[in-house]
Amino acid sequence: MTQSGHPEAGAAPRVAVTSLGCKVNFAEMSELAGTLAAAGWDVVAEQDHADVRILNSCTVTMQADATTRKHLRRLRRADPGALLVLTGCSVDGNPDQFSRDASRRHGVDAVYPNLRKHEIADDLLRWVGAREAAPDTGEDRSALRSRAFIKVQDGCNHRCTYCIVWQARGVARSRGPASVSDAVARAIELGHGEVTLCGVDLGSYGRDLGTDLATLLGGLLEQCSDSARIRLSSINANDVTPAVIELNAHPRLCAHWHLPLQSGSDPVLRRMHRGYRRAQYLHVVRQLRERNPLTEITTDVMVGFPGETDADHEQTLSLIDEVGFHSCHVFRWSPRPGTPATEYADPVDAATSRRRSAEVRRAALRAGDASRQRAVGRAHEVVWERPASTGARGLSSTYHEIEVPGASPPPGSLGHVFVTAVAGDHLEGTLIP
């Protein structure tokens, strides 16, 4: 590589992409990597040397912006001569810190807000003059993981009072069903046994196009043969319509739903401006399990929101016990400039917030243990991921990590495993031929 970051003459440019935050970010980078790979670029791992480095950032909390800065420093240190590109929600959510000029301090060469993210690939191809470079080998170099992540929706029309993401991502807009269907077909053709549909507000899919998520999902499930399946990344409980619930009985839909909870208390949900209440959330969980009793639920919980009382907190703990979550992502509320909640009275003191966070984590761990225990003694369909040191690792339809000692199936394919035991945070089993 030359000092300017340009690859040596004749060599395929090497690009490393790093995604922080949500699966939407990950899906966007998978797509970008796929475009560059098809133009002859080498998509390399983050720890390898690269000519171009792209960071897709997250701004969901103040901590996330700090993580963006930390990553920029690390990426710059890893490859002092590389072209460093910054994009994502930190750019839109925190323009003071991540404007083009401000980003130069972190060694960034180019900055793209979310709405211009789609220009990155073309700009890079022009920059390196690589459109006619190495021919596409047909080999799947677009895969950042054995599972495919496809963005079907962007933006959000909700106004949750703690959230900056809707400001960073703009209004809700959906990708056309034909384009989604083509992307899913391509992912399956490339050997991805599992496709995750991602969106900032996935449940709003299609409202701008006169269709809806159930219609899209129903069509995609019919498109899947036995060698592929579909997972939804995250959906708000108020968007889980009866037609969507009905699809939970479909054998090609993963029996795993990520339903962000945030709080089990109605007064807190109201102040957060969430679109559902406790009873509705529990009703949706019950209905999903009626269609498929093996359904597992994962969630996000926010503790210490302004005005949260001990009684509110108890409501969250009791809901965690009642649902029996597979896993919970727990985080403490912190003021986020630009969001209404920052102005709310009645803040929860740091010690109380820490204690509540620890209690929620303990409840979540108990629920997670129980979830793994109920997965033992039956067959699971898994998508094979990276090989583990001792064998193969797969992800079940129910989102359990399962290890099979001594096995080495091709990553991305589907297989069947009989689960025999819990082994720490994962499961162990034997291959079903």
Interacting residue ranges for ligand SF4, rule: CB under 6 A: 156, 158-160, 163, 165-166, 200-201, 236
Query: Residues 6 or more apart from 100 whose CB is under 8 A from it?
Result: 108, 110, 111
Closer CB to ligand SF4, 90 or 371, in the complex: 90
Residues 36, 94: Cα–Cα separation, whole Å? 28
**Residue (of 404, 391, 415) closest to 229 by Cα position:** 415
**Smallest separation (angstroms) from ligand SF4 to the CB of 60:** 8
Sheet holding 14-19, edge to edge: 42-44, 14-19, 52-57, 83-88, 110-112
* CB of 30 closer than 8 Å to CB of 148: yes
Could you tell me which residues are beta bridge partners of residue 380?
417
Decide whether 159 or 378 has the Cβ nearer to ligand SF4: 159
Q: How far is the CB of 151 from ligand SF4 (least distance, A)?
A: 14
Quick one: 236 or 265, whose CB is closer to ligand SF4?
236
Please give the DSSP secondary-structure letter assigned to residue 398.
Answer: T
Of 299 and 398, CB closest to ligand SF4: 299
CB 75 within 8 A of CB 53: yes
Q: For the chain, give the longest Cα–Cα distance.
A: 66
With respect to ligand SF4, which residue has the nearer C-beta, 43 or 268? Answer: 268
In angstroms, what is the minimal distance from the CB of 304 to ligand SF4?
16
Q: Which residue has the tokens 């910054």?
A: 86
- Please report how close the Cβ of residue 117 comes to ligand SF4 at its closest, in angstroms: 17
Least distance to ligand SF4, CB of residue 262, Å: 8
Minimal distance in Å, beta carbon 231 to ligand SF4? 19
Q: Which is nearer to ligand SF4, 218 or 340 (CB)?
A: 340
Q: Are strands 52-57 and 14-19 parallel, antiparallel or unpaired?
A: parallel
List the structure tokens of 366: 């108990």
Q: Which is nearer to ligand SF4, 196 or 292 (CB)?
A: 196
At 40 the three-state DSSP class reads coil
Distance CA 354, CA 348 (A): 10
Tell me how far, at minimum, the Cβ of 158 lies from ligand SF4, in Å: 4
